[in-house]
Chain A
Amino acid sequence: MKNFGYTRHTDRQIDFDATDKRLYQFVFDLEPSINLCIFCGTCAATCSAGHFTTLSFRRISLLLRRGMNDIVKKEIENCMLCGKCQLVCPKGVNTRNVILQIVKGIEKYEL
């Protein structure tokens, strides 16, 4: 049979309504400064771990509110909790506490 080059692709849209926002809500309730983030990336620019791994606090902050918790869970494993990101954040996000609360939330919801 002639191959017309069609392949099946998985749907890569973020299905916003289907995602799990419990983790974000949990973190927001305990550390509301998470929602001050404007995704400027200063945290990720200064993060030494981000040079060698895909860790970016900016990305964690974003993916958390998109409910992409599996990636968040994997990424924060690379964080050394050094707090450099917190020093440079122009919006006063308490980045370290956000990460600590993410860890707690992951345990709580067994994610």
Chain B
Amino acid sequence: MKNIVVIGGGIAGMEASAFLAAKGYSVDLIEKNDTLGGRLANWDRLFPTMRRGSEVTEFLAEGVMQEAVKVHLSADIVRVERHHDTFLLVTTQGNELHCDAILLATGYDLFDARRKEEYGYGIYDNVITSADLEQIFSSGRDILTQKGKKPSRVGFVHCVGSRDEKAGHTYCSKVCCVTGVKQAIEVKQQIPDAEIFNFYMDLRMYGMHFEALYKKAQEDFNVQFVRGRLSEAAENLDGSLALKVEDTLAGRPMKINVDLLVLLVGCTPSEGTRKMASLLGLKLGFNGFFKTTDQHTMTNYSDIPGVFFAGTCIGPNTITNAITDARAAATAIDIYLSGNQLANRKMKPHEEFWLYPSH
């Protein structure tokens, strides 16, 4: 029986493991945390339908259990050796795993909001991130300011750490716009008399039903969308925040106070991605996510035969697409291991880096 090691027990890693095991492979799933589920475990409700994230985790876990995937929790890879077309991986527990293919599902990290000092995360008490807000939602706690007051006005800042040359991340993180709309609705559901303002450059409601969620936020929840990107937030004496923004559509600078400011942080390449890239000698793309063999046709393939990608380790993505991608990766690995010649197709070499000036 052929062995596959899947690295990363988030959405993509879990689903790909289950599909590979169902195809008859022996699968080891390596997860550095002590539970499976990855970043989804920290998300309460999901856009666009508001279903619980835990329902998706449970669904994925059912697949992992049913197919008897060998799960290694609190484990990491410390060494990789490549022998012809097999690999040896050594884990932190000293386990030696021999395998015929590796699937990298190392996911993403959240942008460290402290790096946008002008928004005051980690400096002002009432500036939180979208991830912090999810934790409040999951815990069932009330949304309160640091001083225990119910906020009467809440601001959301889009594109924090994304589409920003100064933060070093020029790409769009794809999921934060719709997250901002979802969270605005949830805050309004909890505090019906609060005023909610979303400050945006563009609202990217690209997915099916995202536009409907946006419409709901406008029509049913009276969320206000202001087209302008904050230059800074400053703390007032009472702990509320004075925001500076240009109301670009009115063509006037605007000052506005909010009691709570939520920064919609973007996705960055994960620590695990960098680590596996260096252990395997894999190239990273310009934005620091894994570089796929081809942008259009070979996004599950790395430049090393037998090493594959799934999920957000190649770029920001939704849960829906991470699951689809995981199943696609499982199929790609199956085709490769069964020696089917479909695996030998090659695209003509193509330079993607002409997009980026410094390359």
Contacts and interface: CB of A to CB of B under 8 A. Distances in A.
18 contacts: A40-B229, A41-B229, A41-B245, A41-B247, A41-B248, A44-B246, A45-B232, A45-B253, A46-B231, A46-B232, A50-B253, A56-B253, A59-B251, A88-B166, A90-B159, A90-B167, A90-B229, A92-B165
A104 interface: no
Interface residues of B, number: 23
Nearest to B243: A45
B253 A47 contact: yes
Nearest to B169: A90
B164 interface: yes
A59 B246 CA distance: 11
A47 B228 CA distance: 14
A58 B229 contact: no
Contacts of A87: 166
Nearest to B227: A41
Given A38-B201, A41-B248, A51-B253, A90 B164 contact: yes
Nearest to B251: A59
A56 B250 CA distance: 12
B226 to A, nearest CB: 10
Contacts of A50: 246, 253
B193 to A, nearest CB: 28
Interface in A36-79: 38-47, 50-51, 56, 58-59
B230 interface: yes
B253 A90 contact: no
Nearest to A45: B231
A23 B85 CA distance: 61
A46 B244 contact: yes
B248 A40 contact: yes
A110 to B, nearest CB: 28
Contacts of B248: 39-41, 44, 58
Nearest to A85: B231
A47 to B, nearest CB: 7
Nearest to A38: B201
Contacts of A43: 231, 246
